[in-house]
Chains A and B, each alone.
Chain A
Amino acid sequence: MASPVAHAAHHAPTSFIRRYIFSLDHKVIGIQYYFLAVFSVFLGMVLSVLMRFHMVYPDAKVSLFEKLWPTGAPGGIMTPELYLSLMTMHGTIMVFFVLTTAPQSGFGNYFLPIQIGAEDMAFPVLNMMSFWTTFLALLVMVAAFFVSGGAPLAGWTAYPPLSAVGPLSGPGEGMGQTLWIISIAIFCGASLMGAINFIATLIDLRAQGMSLMRLPLTCWTWFVTAILGLLGFAVLLAAGVLLLLDRMAGTSFFLPAGLVVNDQILNHKGGSPLLWQHLFWFFGHPEVYIAILPGMGVASQLLSTFSRKPIFGYRAMVYAILGIGFLGFFVWGHHMFMSGMNPYSAFAFSVLTMSIGVPSAIKTFNWIGTLWGGRIQFTTAMLFALGFVSLFVTGGISGIFLGQPALDLYFHDTYFVVGHFHMIMGVAAIFGMFAGTFYWFPKATGKFMNETLGKIHFYLTFIGVYAIFTPMHFLGINGNPRRYADFTNFDFLGKLLPVHTFMTHAAIFTMVVQFIFLFNLFWSIKKGKPAPANPWNSTTLEWSIPSPPPFDNFAGKHPVVNHGPYEYSVPGAAKDYIMQTDPA
């Protein structure tokens, strides 16, 4: 257990503002990030259902649309421009304010310091600033809906020329696109602050005995994710500055000469839209791992705990995490096969992309190896962790197709890509968040979430997401283009419309199901069954302290770590788990 040597415990601040709003406590900041992401994910989800609705019922007159977007939906019928703005905002909000925010900044902030035995993050003030800067970025992003012309149209990747030429190119490309760039720049700053904290905390504030090879795999993934964020967001920030200058200051970094937009010749020359793509995807591909790596950590932690077995191949898992992080920086070109690329470069990017399959397969086999012969406890948290593995494999396999230039040329602008990245980056990561929520909720609140509601939510969501995203692969193989607002005017797509209708209904169904989770979350905060300090018989440090944890985590004591993170079912041991702080 914790070292007997203690000093005076730190007391929590008493004023409401210091305690809950501008808090320096990493746990409160983690919860703030979590709820920012919960708000964002519901907003993003509603946007996606509006898009799916429009694709299937493009002529439907909905008076609410007209009230919300008088110019975007005149007479209640959504314009293609409005559809594109919904698509842009859905992607942006989901990627930045959900997938980057909750798994890393939310769960990581709350649990990384506790899991390594620290009182707090290394720089609590920076931590607080990082959250409030993220909040500001979200406000600026959402403000894009309300400015003249509305939200931008250029997608979450903001490819120039469309994103760089201003209001000439579409209604959202004026102030809306400018706010988009500013919001992303602010977000980059926030992420850099967060990354500095995560890295310094993990390197320097580990408890005695917490060697690198005793770190829970969650900590490894948060650490590598922080490094990816650090290097990636710095480049995105630079790209954003260049894009903003092209828009506002008349420079020509990304805009070529002789560009004619709406019959008007633009006064730019010599720039290249491809330059943006290189800079963007140098960030963009690591961003995929920023979203998914923490989910891998959570899945590893939960599969071990609920199989009552040590994680299979701990060191291999660590090296696989490092390998995925490292290789993630050398594959950005596979997003650009269609943009025109020397075939030799494409070949190199393709081989490097395929090579990520090796550490990914190591992780998958080790997860299965962990489950093999285990005494599996099908808690809701475990079900979501299993769901994560399933979605990761499904989404990963379609990635092998897309990583080959010859196939990508066909698939690139089709729904195959939409299916692929939603499976692996979207819902797999979100399943990681659900798993983490059910697993750590008792620690953060001292109460359980309702398991029956949780299981209903899991099974319906699992069926729902497969029903939405599996058909997209078939649509893609049939040549169904992505980013189109309406398919009804194309003969060759006519036979696919019933599939779209099915997916839209599945999306509405899955959205409704999410309210079960939301209800469960808030209901359990108030009325959940009381949970003991270590309800899952887990081994890591957060389970050695009361629930909810004291303000300074270990109540003034310094834990000493004597064991690895996953010592379950050790032969000869009194219990089927040995906590990291148990005597050697």
Chain B
Amino acid sequence: MKNLYKIIIIVAVFILSIFILLLIVRPVLMRSGSHIAQLTEEKAKNITLNSELDNYVSARDDYYLINAEYQKLNMELPEKSDLSILTNELYEIARYTNVEIENIAFEESKIDEEDLRKTPVKEIKIDMVLQGSYYEILNCINTMEIMPRLIKVEDVAVQTSGGDHDNLLAFIIAKTYFVNEYYK
């Protein structure tokens, strides 16, 4: 073979090799690099997601337990004022403890607009006047304190009614709460 042909072959094969490297191998390598980066990212994401999943799975496993707890808490601190239910409960307590409710008044506490998002609960002030004997009033207050809905008896004034020591008048100021829907 003539040397010229050899040179032509060398140059041609060299150029072909360069073309193959530039047009095929280089893009494949670049794509592989990007795949490796994506793969590393996906692996990290997978680890994070799996640990997150483990936490959530444990929350799901405890769902019934948490739900029971939530229902109990909802009784103590309802989502809405539920005044009709509250009034009914108070009258039921009075009936059960043999106390007469002379007067009952509710007042929702006012919250400033700027504090509205910072205050988790709204208050309802309950102003009650009861009539009954010492033990009946005691029993009534005690039942209010331990009833499912949270009621904080704040002020109590007991006095005899017209000199009759078995018939007392009790002036009670209590507070109950419900969730403030604007709280963030």
Partners in one complex: no
B residues engaging A (CB < 8 A)? none
A residues engaging B (CB < 8 A)? none
